[in-house]
């Protein structure tokens, strides 16, 4: 999206940018930003398959973990490669990239809800919270000219790492419920993340609304 200031303050931003620039300089010419966007979505499908198949054998979680790396590779490099090669198509890239991100998020979280560890309603609550925060980001980019890629020093990369760590924990933690709540430790963890994103959405909406109200006077 043209004319928008990208704000990225996540913990791994500097190191990740160095790695992405290094990769961009070494990718063959036939690799395109659109191809990388598709690769990222294939990573999301791989995550879904790994989580869904983990119902039958826990070892399938390794497929989901591998899918997170594929998803990161495609999703993080598509825009980076376009900017590196100076072949940006800001409006097209913005639209396609974030549309595919939304679909990927749906696929990944649905996969989580199909595991023995996380209830589908809990997974959908977290997805709804994430999408609300995403909507705020897109609206704020339109009305303030600032596109925020991270909140509380965390962005998509940090979130992937959290989900990878959670997936690793599933190997050693049985999907038992806590004190008759019907919720597993993983349910409570995902609910906490979802509630945090919901709270961020409310706070950021109020802050941005106040700024815009003041400017409109």
> Which residues constitute the domain of residue 191?
5-216
| Band of pLDDT at residue 2, cut at 50, 70 and 90 | low
Look over the chain and give the mean of its residue pLDDT values, rounded to a whole number: 91
The number of folded domains in the chain is: 1
- Decide if pLDDT at 6 tops 90: no
DSSP string for 47-94: HHHHHHHTTT-GGGHHHHHHHHHHHHHHHHHHHHHHHHTT---HHHHH
Domain of 53, CATH number, reads: 1.20.120.1760
Mind listing the pLDDT tens digit for each residue in 80-100?
999 999 998 988 988 999 999
- Decide if pLDDT at 75 tops 70: yes
Angle between helices 61-84 and 13-24 (to 10 degrees): 70
Q: How many whole angstroms separate alpha carbon 8 and alpha carbon 189?
A: 25
Q: Are β-strands 5-7 and 146-148 bridged in parallel, bridged antiparallel, or unpaired? A: parallel
| Band of pLDDT at residue 1, cut at 50, 70 and 90 | low
Q: What is the structure's pLDDT at 195?
A: 96
- Decide if pLDDT at 179 tops 80: no
| Band of pLDDT at residue 184, cut at 50, 70 and 90 | very high
Q: What is the structure's pLDDT at 148?
A: 83
Q: How many whole angstroms separate alpha carbon 183 and alpha carbon 26?
A: 46
- Decide if pLDDT at 36 tops 80: yes
Q: How many whole angstroms separate alpha carbon 198 and alpha carbon 207?
A: 14
Mind listing the pLDDT tens digit for each residue in 110-162?
999 999 999 999 999 999 999 999 999 999 888 888 888 778 878 889 999 99
- Decide if pLDDT at 169 tops 70: yes
């Amino acid at each position: 999206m043209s004319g928008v200031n990208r704000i990225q303050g996540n913990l791994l931003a500097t190191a990740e940018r160095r790695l992405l620039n290094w990769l961009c300089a070494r990718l063959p010419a036939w690799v395109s930003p659109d191809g990388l966007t598709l690769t990222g979505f294939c990573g999301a499908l791989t995550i879904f398959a790994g989580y869904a198949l983990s119902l039958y054998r826990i070892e399938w979680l390794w497929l989901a973990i591998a899918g997170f790396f594929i998803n990161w590779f495609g999703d993080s490099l598509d825009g980076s490669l376009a900017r590196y090669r100076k072949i940006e198509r800001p409006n097209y890239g913005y639209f396609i990239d974030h549309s595919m991100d939304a679909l990927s998020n749906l696929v990944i979280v649905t996969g989580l809800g199909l595991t023995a560890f996380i209830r589908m309603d809990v997974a959908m609550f977290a997805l709804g919270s994430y999408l609300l925060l995403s909507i705020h980001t897109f609206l704020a980019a339109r009305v303030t000219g600032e596109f925020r890629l991270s909140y509380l020093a965390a962005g998509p990369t940090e979130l992937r790492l959290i989900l990878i760590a959670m997936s690793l924990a599933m190997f050693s933690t049985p999907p038992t419920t806590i004190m008759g709540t019907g919720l597993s430790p993983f349910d409570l963890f995902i609910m906490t993340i979802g509630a945090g994103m919901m709270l961020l959405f409310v706070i950021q909406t109020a802050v941005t609304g106040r700024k815009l109200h003041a400017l409109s006077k």
